[in-house]
A and B are shown apart, each in its own frame.
Chain A
Amino acid sequence: MIIIPFLLLLSIAPVIANMYGVKPSYRTGAVSFSVVAITSLYLMLEGYTSYHAAGQYIAVGIDPLTSGFLMILATVWALASLYSTEYDQGSISNSLTYNMAMFAMVILLLSRSFPVFLSAWETMTISGYFLIGMRKTVGPIPPYVFLVYGELSTLFIIAMGSAIYLQTGTMIFVHGPYNEVLLFLGIMGFFIKMGVMPFQITEWLPIAHGNATTNGSILFSATMTTAAVYSILRFILLSEPGIFFGSLLMSIGAFSLLFASIYSASSEHVKMLPAYSTIENGGAMLILLGAFVIASDSGYPGIAAFALAGLMVFVLAHSLAKCGLFMFSGIMEKASGSPEIKDYHGGSNSTYYGGGGILNSISLSGMLPLGGGIGEWMLLETLFILSIIGNSPLSLLSTVVGAAAALGGGISIISMTKIFGYGSRGAHEGKRKEGAMRTALLLAGIMVFLAGILSSFYIMAISPVVQEFTGISTAGIISGLLIIPNGFLITSHSSTGLFGVVSPFFVALFIALFSGIMIVVGTRFRKREVSTWNGGIPEGDKLNSFAYANSLRLTMKRLYLTKEEREGKLYSERTFDAFWLTVVFLSRKTVGFSRAMGRAVMNSSLAAYVFYIMVAFFLVMIYVAS
Chain B
Amino acid sequence: MNPGDQITGSTKIGEKQVVLRGYGNPSWSEIRDGEEKREDYMICNGKYGEISQGSDVFNLAYGPSTGGLEESVRFNIYTYGERILSIAAEPLYKDRRIVMTGTEPVTALLRVERINGAYSPFYSSLFLTALESIGDAGNDPDLGYARILMNEVARIADHLHVIGRLAEGAAQNVAYHQIFALREDLLRIVSARFGHRYFFGVNGYGGLRRKVNLEGITMDIHRISGQFREIWSKLEESRIFVDRIQTTTTVRKPWLIGPAARGAGFRTDSRISSSGLPYGDLGMQISVSESGDSLSRALVRKDEIAESASIIETVEGLIRHVPDAVDFNGRSFEGEYTTRTEAPGGDAVMRIALSGSRMEAFYLRSPSVQNLAAFCAGIGGNVLTDFTFGFESLGIHISETGGYL
Question: Which of the residues A541, A548, A549, A551 comes within 8 Å of B60, measured between beta carbons?
Answer: A541
Q: Quick check: is B83 within 8 A (CB to CB) of the other chain?
A: yes
- A548–B80 Cα distance when bound, in Å, is 9
CB of B85 within 8 A of CB of A537, answer no
Instruction: Report the minimum CB–CB distance from B159 to chain A (whole Å).
Output: 28
Among the listed stretches A44-52, A281-289, A569-577, A591-599, which one makes contact with chain B, having 4 or more residues with CB under 8 Å of it?
Answer: A569-577
Q: Quick check: is B79 within 8 A (CB to CB) of the other chain?
A: yes
Instruction: Report the minimum CB–CB distance from B300 to chain A (whole Å).
Output: 30
Q: Please name all residues of chain B whose beta carbon is closer than 8 Å to the beta carbon of A535 when the two chains form the complex.
A: 61-66, 74
Q: Quick check: is A342 within 8 A (CB to CB) of the other chain?
A: yes
Q: Quick check: is A550 within 8 A (CB to CB) of the other chain?
A: yes
CB of B65 within 8 A of CB of A536, answer yes
Q: Please name all residues of chain A whose beta carbon is closer than 8 Å to the beta carbon of B54 when the two chains form the complex.
A: 569-572
- A573–B56 Cα distance when bound, in Å, is 9
Q: Please name all residues of chain B whose beta carbon is closer than 8 Å to the beta carbon of A570 when the two chains form the complex.
A: 52-54
CB of B55 within 8 A of CB of A572, answer yes
- A543–B50 Cα distance when bound, in Å, is 20
CB of B81 within 8 A of CB of A564, answer no
Q: Quick check: is B58 within 8 A (CB to CB) of the other chain?
A: yes
Instruction: Report the minimum CB–CB distance from B377 to chain A (whole Å).
Output: 15
Q: Quick check: is B59 within 8 A (CB to CB) of the other chain?
A: yes
Q: Quick check: is B51 within 8 A (CB to CB) of the other chain?
A: yes
Instruction: Report the minimum CB–CB distance from A530 to chain B (whole Å).
Output: 14
Q: Quick check: is B318 within 8 A (CB to CB) of the other chain?
A: no
Q: Quick check: is B282 within 8 A (CB to CB) of the other chain?
A: no
CB of A541 within 8 A of CB of B81, answer no
CB of A541 within 8 A of CB of B58, answer yes
CB of B61 within 8 A of CB of A547, answer no
CB of B53 within 8 A of CB of A571, answer yes
CB of B56 within 8 A of CB of A544, answer yes
Q: Quick check: is A604 within 8 A (CB to CB) of the other chain?
A: no
Closest to A542 in B: B58
Q: Please name all residues of chain A whose beta carbon is closer than 8 Å to the beta carbon of B74 when the two chains form the complex.
A: 535, 537
Q: Please name all residues of chain B whose beta carbon is closer than 8 Å to the beta carbon of A342 when the two chains form the complex.
A: 56
Q: Please name all residues of chain A whose beta carbon is closer than 8 Å to the beta carbon of B85 when the two chains form the complex.
A: 571
Question: Interface residue count for B (Cβ, 8 Å)?
Answer: 27
Q: Quick check: is B383 within 8 A (CB to CB) of the other chain?
A: yes
Q: Quick check: is B82 within 8 A (CB to CB) of the other chain?
A: yes
Considering only residues 40-58 of chain B, those with a C-beta below 8 Å from chain A are 50-58
Closest to B68 in A: A535
Question: Which of the residues A534, A536, A547, A572 comes within 8 Å of B81, measured between beta carbons?
Answer: A547
Which interface residue of B66, B81, B383 has the most chain A CB atoms within 10 A?
B81
Closest to A574 in B: B55
Q: Quick check: is A55 within 8 A (CB to CB) of the other chain?
A: no
Question: Interface residue count for A (Cβ, 8 Å)?
Answer: 24
Considering only residues 347-405 of chain B, those with a C-beta below 8 Å from chain A are 383
CB of B59 within 8 A of CB of A540, answer yes
Question: Which of the residues A541, A547, A571 comes within 8 Å of B82, measured between beta carbons?
Answer: A547
Considering only residues 108-166 of chain B, those with a C-beta below 8 Å from chain A are none
Instruction: Report the minimum CB–CB distance from A147 to chain B (whole Å).
Output: 33
- A554–B385 Cα distance when bound, in Å, is 13
- A149–B64 Cα distance when bound, in Å, is 56
CB of B53 within 8 A of CB of A537, answer no
Considering only residues 263-303 of chain B, those with a C-beta below 8 Å from chain A are none
Q: Please name all residues of chain A whose beta carbon is closer than 8 Å to the beta carbon of B55 when the two chains form the complex.
A: 571-573
Which interface residue of B57, B63, B74 has the most chain A CB atoms within 10 A?
B57
Question: Which of the residues A534, A547, A551, A554 comes within 8 Å of B56, measured between beta carbons?
Answer: A547
Closest to B384 in A: A551
Closest to B381 in A: A564
Q: Quick check: is A457 within 8 A (CB to CB) of the other chain?
A: no
Q: Quick check: is A245 within 8 A (CB to CB) of the other chain?
A: no
Instruction: Report the minimum CB–CB distance from A172 to chain B (whole Å).
Output: 57
Q: Quick check: is A546 within 8 A (CB to CB) of the other chain?
A: yes
CB of B82 within 8 A of CB of A551, answer yes
Which interface residue of A543, A544, A571 has the most chain B CB atoms within 10 A?
A571
Q: Please name all residues of chain B whose beta carbon is closer than 8 Å to the beta carbon of A543 when the two chains form the complex.
A: 58, 60, 81
Q: Please name all residues of chain A whose beta carbon is closer than 8 Å to the beta carbon of B58 when the two chains form the complex.
A: 541-544, 547
Question: Which of the residues B57, B64, B78 comes within 8 Å of A537, measured between beta carbons?
Answer: B64
- A476–B327 Cα distance when bound, in Å, is 96
Considering only residues 530-586 of chain A, those with a C-beta below 8 Å from chain B are 534-537, 540-544, 546-551, 553-554, 564, 569-573
- A566–B60 Cα distance when bound, in Å, is 19
- A541–B86 Cα distance when bound, in Å, is 16
Q: Please name all residues of chain A whose beta carbon is closer than 8 Å to the beta carbon of B51 when the two chains form the complex.
A: 569
Closest to B93 in A: A537
CB of A551 within 8 A of CB of B81, answer yes
- A540–B78 Cα distance when bound, in Å, is 13
Listed by A's residue number, 25 A-B pairs whose Cβ atoms lie within 8 Å are A535-B62, A535-B63, A535-B64, A535-B74, A536-B63, A536-B66, A537-B64, A537-B74, A540-B59, A540-B61, A542-B58, A546-B56, A546-B80, A547-B56, A547-B58, A549-B81, A550-B83, A553-B81, A553-B82, A554-B82, A554-B83, A564-B83, A569-B52, A570-B53, A571-B53
Given contacts A535-B65, A546-B80, 10 further A-B contacts (CB under 8 A): A541-B59, A543-B81, A546-B56, A549-B81, A550-B81, A551-B81, A554-B83, A570-B52, A570-B54, A572-B55
Task: Enumerate the 3 nearest inter-chain pairs by beta-carbon distance, A residue then B residue, closest first.
Answer: A547-B81, A550-B81, A536-B65
Residues of A near any B CB (own CB < 8 A) = 342, 534-537, 540-544, 546-551, 553-554, 564, 569-573
Residues of B near any A CB (own CB < 8 A) = 50-66, 74, 78-83, 85-86, 383
